């Protein structure tokens, strides 16, 4: 079965620190990849997505992610985090060509940014 | 566009009662998804519909849960009878073909 692994359960950073959240998936075919963010008490919002093309994807709020097919990875990065980035981040994979929209989510990584 | 609309936003009920959660997807989207989020289990897909037809309900916990989509603009998730372990945030999401899923604000359910 497909699965998505987010290795860090909780990450604590100071403001201006660089961020990298890991995401690995276990499907060998073509995939669509997503990062969603959930601010405290709110719903999931799309941060960025990769369908095809340039494997380095830029999203909102200065986030980016790199798809490395050989490593089955789609890590999320931000050069300098802010207190307002405190949230939970979810990586998700969609099996391209499979049942439409069946996203498999990782367990999420909580990011706490200290001011 | 108003986005995905869910109601109620909060629901507190007693064990054994019937609970109905409602979702209005984004107009033009042909897929609708119901998720449950808890601290212990994270985000779980319960069921999803394509063109109002249930495609995969393998995530529905048990027979107490049922979902319907009578038309393209409305879906319900019903729990009957409800139990305390059903307490969670229930999200509805919608998407169009090969596009991103957009999530609603969720319904926070507390079963006492």
The pLDDT tens digits of the residues spanning B26-78 come to 999 999 999 999 988 888 889 999 999 998 888 898 899 999 999 999 999 99
The confidence score (pLDDT) of residue A27 equals 78
The confidence score (pLDDT) of residue A39 equals 94
A21 beta partners? A76
**Are B56 and A49 within 8 A, CB to CB?**
no
Q: CB of B45 within 8 Å of any CB in chain A?
A: yes
Burial of B7 (0-12, 13-18, 19+ CB in 10 A): middle
Is residue A76 within 8 Å of residue A19, measured between CB atoms?
Answer: yes
Confidence of residue A97 (pLDDT cuts 50, 70, 90): low
Q: Report the gap between the CA of A81 and the closest CA in chain B (Å).
A: 24
pLDDT > 90 in chain A, percent: 70
């Amino acid at each position: 079965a497909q699965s998505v692994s987010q290795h860090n359960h909780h990450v604590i950073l100071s403001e201006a620190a660089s961020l990298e959240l890991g995401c690995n998936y276990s499907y060998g075919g073509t995939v669509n990849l997503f990062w969603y963010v959930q601010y405290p008490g709110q719903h999931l919002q799309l941060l960025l997505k990769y369908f095809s093309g340039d494997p380095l994807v830029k999203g909102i709020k200065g986030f980016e992610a790199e798809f490395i097919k050989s490593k089955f990875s789609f890590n999320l990065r931000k050069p300098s985090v802010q207190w307002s980035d405190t949230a939970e981040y979810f990586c998700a994979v969609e099996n391209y060509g499979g049942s439409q929209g069946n996203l498999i989510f990782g367990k999420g990584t909580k990011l706490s940014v200290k001011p | 566009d108003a986005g995905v609309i869910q109601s109620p936003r909060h629901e507190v009920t007693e064990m054994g009662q019937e609970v109905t959660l409602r979702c209005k997807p984004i107009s033009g989207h042909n897929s609708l998804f119901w998720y449950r989020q808890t601290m212990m289990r994270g985000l779980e897909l319960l069921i999803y519909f394509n063109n109002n037809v249930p495609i995969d309900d393998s995530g529905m916990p048990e027979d107490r849960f049922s979902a319907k989509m009578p038309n393209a603009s409305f879906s319900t998730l019903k729990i009957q009878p409800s139990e305390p372990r059903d307490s969670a945030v229930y999200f509805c999401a919608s998407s169009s073909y090969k596009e991103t899923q957009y999530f609603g604000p969720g319904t926070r359910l507390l079963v006492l």
